[in-house]
């Protein structure tokens, strides 16, 4: 069986060129791509077309670590690195800083290999914000990737509507700041197990061949994209507005709304942010203090408070500082057509399951939180009806999806599963300083589960 092999036309072209040569398959300004003549022998309806439903059982398995290979021509790889340098400064230098960038790295065509099958001319780019900048600045090549399987379908008609077992987009996250490599998966699964819309995740090893043979980039977490299959499969209607807020207005503090902060992931041609504006208006209405019952009724007309309070309970029990309440990013809002309410969707959980950086994760009673700065938390928690619901969900979380014994067993299982691949990571492609770092980080997660049960018991007084 052919496995992880370059297409013959691509292989012949690479062998004919030195690394310094211009890639004969690479598009240049004003020219037509020369690598459009290729066959797609591995294409099947189930594996490659958009006529198949997403195969979660194949792509997102819990009990295994799968392998995925990315094959990128040398010149295209160099162009990716050059693009990163233009955004973040030289590799291994902090000249570019670790701040967010409004510019995404550029896509290039590449081949993806999995289980002996090939996916053709897949759009691949580096992804992330501060995690990407920091990893690049420290000279660590274990960078996160975003895959878009039909990004280049206009250039390559053969791959029109190409999918990966029903998925158009996927993220390979590098588990930044997580030596256990478990946080992204465990946190995401905890949200979903509590009945919330959240991305599926799975463990993968990633190999990248940019003309020098496959190089082991380490253990990654494959993450389902919210604007791809999550809305289609976890909501009954996918036509509502989807937003990924990022910036000052994402706090929902009074007077901070701006369209540029509430980035639309769909329906862009409809320049209408009425649903977001309505939530701002209702949250800050004067009847919040003069007539709380009326305020709750108005709020529940535009915002799914049940979903938010459940999310808040999980997020605060497990601890997650890099999101709403501390940071103005890492969540989505979806205007669910089923009830015309904005529904909260968590995102980017690699910094969860720990007290965290800066001010640290919010305490269970939100002491020290500025209610006016973070009104979706502060104003709801100050309302006795919503506080009672939040408290009941906190109790459910610690007795159910985040019960200590269950979490200890899960960490043991996942630790044993991932450990051989984690300690095989190599210098320059890892966040581990030594193999022992991995087990130490898993043990820290186990201690964290115990401490959170004690914290909830103290908070609830039982």
Maximum alpha-carbon separation in the chain:
77
Q: Is the pLDDT of residue 5 over 90?
A: no
- DSSP collapsed to 3 states, the chain: CCCCCCCHHHHHHHHCCCCCCCCCCCCCCCCCCCCCCCCCCCCCHHHHCCCCCCCHHHHCCCCCEEEEEEECCHHHHHHHHHHHHHHHCCCCCHHHCCCCCCCCCCCEEEEEEECCEEEEEEEEEECCCHHHHHHHHCCCCCCCEEEECCCCCCCCHHHCCCCECCECEEEEECCCCCCCCCHHHHHHHHHHHCCCCCCCEEEEEEEEECCCCCEEEEEEEEEECHHHHHHHHHCCCCCCCEEEECCHHHHCCCCCCCCCCEEECCCCCCCCCHHHHHHHHHHCCCHHHHCHHHHHHHHHHHECHHHHHHHHHHHHHHCECCCCCCCCCCEEEEEECCCCEEEEEECCCCCECCCCCCCCCCCCCCCCCCCCCCHHHHHHHHCHHHHHHHHHHHHHHHHCCCCHHHHHHHHHHHHHHHHHHHCCCCCCCCCCCCCHHHHHHHHHHHHHHHHHHHHHHHHHCC
The Cα–Cα gap between 10 and 81 comes to 21
Question: Tens digit of pLDDT for each residue in 223-254?
Answer: 999 999 999 999 999 999 999 999 999 999 99
Q: Is the dihedral of CA 44, 127, 325, 407 positive or negative?
A: positive
pLDDT of residue 20: 37
Average pLDDT over residues 171-176: 98
| Angle between helix 292-302 and 384-399 (nearest 10) | 60
Question: Tens digit of pLDDT for each residue in 343-377?
Answer: 999 999 999 999 999 899 999 999 999 999 999 99
The Cα–Cα gap between 446 and 442 comes to 7
Tokens of 12: 């012949």
201: phi then psi, degrees, rounded to nearest 5? -140, 160
- Is residue 133 domain-shared with residue 240, that is, in the same domain? no
- Is residue 383 domain-shared with residue 450, that is, in the same domain? yes
When mean pLDDT is compared across 30-39, 342-351, 380-389, 399-408, the lowest value belongs to 30-39
Q: How many domains does the chain have?
A: 2
Tokens of 375: 């009104």
pLDDT of residue 35: 85
Tokens of 107: 């896509």
- Is residue 93 domain-shared with residue 166, that is, in the same domain? yes
The Cα–Cα gap between 148 and 168 comes to 6
Average pLDDT over residues 111-121: 98
With respect to residue 334, please indicate whether it lies within any of the assigned structural domains: yes
- Is residue 230 domain-shared with residue 241, that is, in the same domain? no
- Is residue 153 domain-shared with residue 286, that is, in the same domain? no
Q: Is the pLDDT of residue 29 over 50?
A: no
- Is residue 228 domain-shared with residue 257, that is, in the same domain? no
- Is residue 33 domain-shared with residue 111, that is, in the same domain? yes
The Cα–Cα gap between 137 and 298 comes to 47
Which is more confident, 24 or 270?
270
The Cα–Cα gap between 428 and 167 comes to 30
Nearest Cα neighbor of 162 from 73, 45, 58, 76 is 45
Contact in structure between 311 and 346 (CB atoms under 8 Å)? yes
pLDDT of residue 96: 54
With respect to residue 188, please indicate whether it lies within any of the assigned structural domains: no
- Is residue 294 domain-shared with residue 379, that is, in the same domain? yes
The Cα–Cα gap between 22 and 8 comes to 19
Question: Tens digit of pLDDT for each residue in 31-84?
Answer: 344 689 999 999 999 999 999 999 999 999 999 999 999 999 999 999 999 999
The rounded Cα 27 to chain-centroid distance in angstroms is 30
With respect to residue 410, please indicate whether it lies within any of the assigned structural domains: yes
The Cα–Cα gap between 260 and 276 comes to 12
* Domain with 411 in it: 236-462
- Is residue 348 domain-shared with residue 390, that is, in the same domain? yes
Average pLDDT over residues 407-412: 98
pLDDT of residue 327: 96
With respect to residue 190, please indicate whether it lies within any of the assigned structural domains: no
With respect to residue 181, please indicate whether it lies within any of the assigned structural domains: no
Nearest Cα neighbor of 334 from 223, 236, 201 is 236
With respect to residue 3, please indicate whether it lies within any of the assigned structural domains: no
Locus of tokens 């009830």: 339
The Cα–Cα gap between 226 and 223 comes to 9
With respect to residue 129, please indicate whether it lies within any of the assigned structural domains: yes
Question: Tens digit of pLDDT for each residue in 253-297?
Answer: 999 999 999 999 999 888 899 999 999 999 999 999 999 999 999
Please enumerate in sequence order all residues whose Cβ is within 8 A of that of 388, keeping only pairs 6 or more positions apart, or say none. none
The Cα–Cα gap between 247 and 275 comes to 18
- Is residue 249 domain-shared with residue 261, that is, in the same domain? yes
- Is residue 374 domain-shared with residue 457, that is, in the same domain? yes
Nearest Cα neighbor of 245 from 268, 262, 264, 267 is 262
- Is residue 79 domain-shared with residue 166, that is, in the same domain? yes
With respect to residue 186, please indicate whether it lies within any of the assigned structural domains: no
């Amino acid at each position: 069986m052919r496995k992880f092999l370059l297409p013959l036309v691509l292989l012949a072209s690479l062998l004919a060129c030195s690394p310094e040569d211009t890639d004969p398959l690479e598009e240049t300004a004003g020219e037509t791509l020369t690598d459009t003549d290729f066959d797609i022998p591995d294409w099947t309806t189930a594996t490659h077309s958009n006529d198949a439903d997403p195969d979660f059982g194949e792509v997102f398995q819990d009990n295994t670590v799968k392998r995925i290979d990315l094959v990128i021509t040398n010149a295209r790889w160099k162009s990716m690195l050059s693009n990163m340098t233009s955004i973040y400064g030289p590799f291994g230098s902090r000249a570019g800083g670790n701040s967010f960038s409004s510019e995404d790295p550029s896509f290039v065509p590449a081949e993806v290999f999995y289980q002996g099958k090939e996916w053709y001319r897949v759009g691949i780019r580096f992804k992330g914000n501060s995690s990407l900048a920091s990893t690049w600045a420290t000279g660590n090549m274990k960078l996160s990737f975003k895959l878009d399987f039909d990004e280049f379908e206009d250039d390559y008609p053969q791959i029109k509507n190409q999918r990966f077992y029903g998925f158009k987009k996927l993220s390979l996250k590098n588990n930044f700041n997580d030596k256990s490599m478990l946080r992204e998966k465990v946190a995401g699964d905890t949200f979903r197990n509590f009945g919330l819309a959240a991305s599926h995740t799975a463990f993968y090893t990633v190999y990248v061949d940019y003309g020098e043979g496959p190089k082991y980039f380490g253990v990654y977490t494959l993450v389902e994209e919210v604007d791809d299959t999550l809305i289609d499969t976890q909501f009954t209607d996918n036509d509502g507005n989807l937003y990924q807020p990022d910036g000052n207005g994402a706090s929902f503090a009074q007077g901070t709304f701006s369209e540029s902060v509430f980035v639309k992931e769909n329906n862009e041609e409809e320049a209408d942010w009425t649903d977001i504006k309505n939530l701002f208006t209702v949250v800050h209405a004067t009847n919040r203090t003069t007539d709380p019952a009326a305020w709750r009724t108005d709020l529940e007309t535009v915002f799914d408070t049940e979903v938010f309070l459940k999310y808040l309970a999980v997020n605060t029990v497990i601890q997650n500082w890099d999101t709403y309440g501390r940071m103005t990013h890492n969540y989505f809002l979806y205007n669910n057509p089923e009830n015309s309410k904005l529904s909260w969707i968590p995102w980017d959980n690699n910094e969860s399951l720990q007290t965290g950086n800066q001010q640290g994760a919010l305490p269970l009673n939100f002491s020290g939180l500025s209610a006016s700065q973070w009104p979706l938390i502060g104003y709801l928690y100050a309302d006795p009806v919503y506080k009672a619901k939040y408290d009941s969900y906190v109790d459910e979380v610690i007795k159910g999806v985040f019960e200590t014994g269950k979490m200890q067993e899960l960490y043991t299982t996942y630790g044993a599963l991932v450990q051989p691949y984690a300690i095989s990571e190599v210098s320059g492609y890892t966040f581990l300083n030594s193999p022992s770092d991995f087990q130490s980080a898993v043990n820290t997660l186990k201690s964290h589960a115990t401490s959170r049960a004690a914290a909830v018991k103290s908070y609830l007084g039982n």
